[in-house]
Chains A and B, each alone.
Chain A
């Protein structure tokens, strides 16, 4: 039966409205759990707070397990889900730039907007940087375009490209997550506590 909107169980006009509602809920949860503090995000890299790692890893695993159970029970057709297209080198270079910005600024784009909403000055600077980056990207687009459009691999997933069994992959992935959580906890106990 699912996904709901592509199969017209919910009219397509509701798409943006649902997106706005989910977006507000997401922003609220980010802010409520303290993600609008750049110290919380930077904590992952300095080893005193692994909340970000735990939250996003848990979210990914819970949703992937839930989706595959729903697919198994016939509530959802997993092949109909949208897979973001892969432009290999664009993704690698963009990922590196974003990672550097992540460490340096202590925000991801989503949390930076949350922090702007509660009036953090560093977030204002950060969002200014994002806008500057967008401007530079747009101006240099002609130079960057071959990378931006090139190395297109289609809407692939790890499971397609390496021909893995998705169920085993999910199982191993969740073991890795639990090990990562345990290791993160051990690291956090050894590192000097930072209060913020």
Chain B
């Protein structure tokens, strides 16, 4: 009798459990669906967009290029025609139109290298950065001021006047050296003949000394 009673209760319990399961599963079907965003949330994107961390100065890029730093790739987001006319050394060309293509993804969506976007100024590069950041790609940077700034600061640095502080002069020297690395010639840095003449004279003396030394060694 008691057994039958428990069996009944058990059966009732199972029915309740089955009902709960059906209600929960049905709830999933009936719940209003919402579109889920791929990538990061709008709040996060805004926080990233406000932050100036993404900008990298032309001086830093010049330093990295001169030291042959292998940790970054330069991505030119301008049109192909402009890229062919002039671009930074070792840059690859991914025009803004093609930024979402599958083949671009291989360069942009990786965490091996820093990706540095640049365009003529930083507007297009910022757009590219925004798209890629939205897709949650990592290690994205933007060249501050783009190629215009590159020309103004590295290729053709403004010469400081004499009353400017020492830092300005040091910066000018560094930038001048960098621009020489990238192929700019300065008249005052071109070596002249008199230097060579002074070099040849001591060489002759050395050869004479060497002969004497050879004789001494024989003894």
Contact = CB atoms under 8 A, between A and B. Distances in A.
| Chain B contact residues: helix, strand, loop or mixed | helix
Interface in A129-175: 167-168, 170-171, 173-175
Contacts of A178: 18, 21-22
B21 A167 contact: no
Interface residues of A, number: 16
B26 A171 contact: yes
Nearest to B34: A72
Interface in B1-43: 14, 18, 21-22, 24-29, 31
B29 A177 contact: no
Contacts of A173: 25
Interface stretch (A61-69, A100-108, A119-127): A61-69
Contacts of B25: 61, 65, 170-171, 173-175
Given A178-B18, A181-B18, A65 B31 contact: no
B22 A168 contact: no
Given A72-B31, A167-B29, A171-B29, A65 B24 contact: yes
B28 A167 contact: yes
Contact of A170 (B14, B18, B28): B28
A171 B21 contact: no
A194 B29 CA distance: 41
Interface of A: 61-62, 65, 68-69, 72, 167-168, 170-171, 173-175, 177-178, 181
Interface of B: 14, 18, 21-22, 24-29, 31
Given A69-B27, A170-B25, A171-B25, 17 more contacts: A61-B25, A65-B21, A65-B24, A65-B25, A65-B28, A69-B28, A72-B28, A72-B31, A167-B28, A167-B31, A168-B29, A171-B26, A171-B28, A174-B21, A174-B25, A178-B18, A181-B18
30 contacts: A61-B21, A61-B25, A62-B21, A65-B24, A65-B25, A68-B28, A69-B27, A72-B28, A72-B31, A167-B28, A167-B31, A168-B29, A170-B25, A170-B28, A170-B29, A171-B22, A171-B25, A171-B26, A171-B28, A173-B25, A174-B21, A174-B24, A174-B25, A175-B22, A175-B25, A177-B21, A178-B18, A178-B21, A178-B22, A181-B14
